[in-house]
Structure 1
Amino acid sequence: MKLAALINFFFLLIPILSAAQQDSVRGYKYDVNINSDNDAYLWMGNDGYYTNGIAFNLNIIGKSERKKIHTIEVGQLMYNAYNGDYEKTSEIDRPVTALLYAKYGQTIFTKKESVFEWNVLAGVIGAPAQGEQLQKFIHKFIGAYSPTEWPFQLNTSIGANVALKWSPNIFSKIETNATAFKPIIKINAGSFFDNANVGMLFQLGRFEKNSQSVLWLSRISKKKYAAKRSFESFFYFYPQFFYQLYNATVQGGLFIKNKGPITGSLNRYAYRQQLGWQYAKQRFSFSPSVIFEGRQAKEQQTPQWYGQIKIGYKFGK
C-alpha cells in the first residue's frame, strides 16, 4: 500500500513539475561545484571498496557561438578492502590505494541538443596520492577507528587518461515535458583506466533542454536566456554496463613492474546504476544520489552501495 501511494504521489506531481512557462534566466559565466562520494552517507555500516571521493570543479562558459563549457577539476578517489581495519594481507580482498588527479575538459552542445564531452586527466596512485593521510584525518575527526591497511597500498605510479562521452539526442520525438531518455556512451583510455560503457539515463520531472540543464552543468551563459522554467527539479535513473581492459586501482600501475604487495584480478564486465534527484535555481544547484556498483576485483566479497552529494554555485555576470 505504501509503495502504491508513493507511485500515485509521483504521478500527481508530474503536471506540476512539468508546467511549461517562459522565464528569463540571468546568465552567469562560472559554475563551481563540490562533489562528494562516501559509503557512510547511506548509513549501512560499510567502509570499504570505493570508500571516499572528493572533487572540486570550475565550469566556464566558452566564447564560441556554439555552446561550449570548459571544465577544470581536481580531486581524489580512495579505495580500500572490505573495510579499513585489516592487518594481514590475506584478509584484504581489494587493493588499497588512492588516486590524486587534475583534469581539464570541454562539453560541447550541437544544434540538435546532442552532447559531446572530452577530458584529459593526469594523476598519481600510491603514497603520494595522500589517501592514508586523508582517511586517518577523517576517521580521527569523526571518532572512528584508525585505518590499518595502508602499509599494503599499491606502489606509486604516475599516469594520464583521456575520456570521451557522447549523448545523441535521438529520443527527442518521444519525450514529453516531464520525461526524457538519454543514451550515453563513454570511452576511457590511458594508464589508469581502459574501459567502455553504455547506459541510458531516464529523467522524470521538471527539466530544461541539455544545453541549459543542471544535468550537464550547463546552466551558465554569456547573457540572459529564455528558459521553459525558472528552476529544475527532477528524478533520474541511470544504469550502465561496462567492459574493462585495465584498472590501475585494482591491478597497479600500468608501466611499473613492482605494482605493490597486493593486486587484484579485474572483472571484465561490470554493472553500475545511479538513482538520484537534481535541483537547480538561479545560482544554486543540489544533487543527492544513491549508487550501486558491481565488483571491480574478482576477489571482492560483495558489490557495493555508496552515496553521492553535489553542490554548485554560479557567479560572474
Structure 2
Amino acid sequence: MLSESAMNASWAQSTFGMGFINLSGTCATTKLIQCRGMGVYQCEVSRKFQKRPEEAPDLMRADFLARKSVLDQVQHWCDEQDGKPSVGDIYRNEWCPILYDWEVAKSSAKKLRDRGHIIFTDLTLTRFLSVMCFGPKGTTCGHESYEDDYATIAKTNAHRFLCLAKYLYHDENKPQWIRATYTTYGEPLPPEFFDFGKPTTDSNTHIWHIPIEDLIPSLLPGEIERIDNLIAQSPWTEPPPASLKQEVMGSKEDRPEITTWKYANTKTGAVCGNCGKTGNNKMPMCSQCKLVRYCNKECQVAAWKMHRQICKASQAKKA
C-alpha cells in the first residue's frame, strides 16, 4: 500500500497531466479538472466496481455493493437507450460515473455530512447526476427515521457540487444543471430519475432537479481557498474572476441542520501526509497549500521532498 506521501506525489502527477488517474480519489476539484484536461472516459470509476468488494479496501462491503447497484442501474438505462434518439439534448444518452465518494477539495470534509457519494456526468461536462447511498432498513442507520435528513443532505451536496462546477468551468461549456436523488441499499433508483424530458423537482420520489439559475451559493471560504490552490497547479484551468466567488460562496450558518441521523455529524479523520497514520482535523496543516496534514513537525519535514512539488507549483502560478 502506498504511503500518503507517495499518494501525494501520484496526485500531483495526475494534476499536472502525467497520465495517472487515481480511481479512488475523493477530491472533486481534482477530478473535474482532470475531466476537462484528460477527457471523461479517462476519469470514469466504473472499473473499480468490476472487482470484488474485498479488492476495494476504502469502502465497506455494504457501501461497495450499494454504489455498484447504482452504477449498474444507470448503465442499464444507458444500454436501453442505445440507438434511440437522445432524450432532450443529452449527448448520446451517455453518463459516466466520475466519483463514488467525494469531498469538495482535498482535506476539506470535516464531517460525514460534508461528503457526497456518486456523481455522473454527461460527455459535455455540463449536466450531472448525484446519488447518495444511505443505510438499509432495519439497521442502526435505518432510513425510516431519518428521511428528512437524507433529503437535506442529498440536496445540499447537489448544490455544493454544482457550485464547484460553476467555479471551475467558468470560461466555456458552463454547467447547466444537476439532478439529485438518494437511495438505500437494496432499493432501486426511481424510474422518474431518468425522465430528463420532465426536469422537475419531486420530493415525493426524492428527486431534485437544480438548474444553474436556481443554484444556492454554498461553498465555504476555506473550501474556495483549497480549490484556488488546486487550480493554481493545473495547466487546464484558469483562475476564475474574483466576482465569481461571491456567486458560489455561502457560510456555515446557511447550511441546514441535521438532527436525527447521528452519523451525519461524525468527524472525518485526517491522514498524515508522511506516515499515513489517521488522526483528527487538529493535526498541523501545511500553511501554504492547506491540502495536507501531518502528525507533527518531524513528519512534515520528512514529507517535504515530495510535497514541495505541489506547494512550489501552486505558489509559482499564483505569483
Does the alignment reach a TM-score above 0.5?
no
TM-score by length of 1: 0.29
TM-score by length of 2: 0.28
* Higher-strand-fraction structure: 1
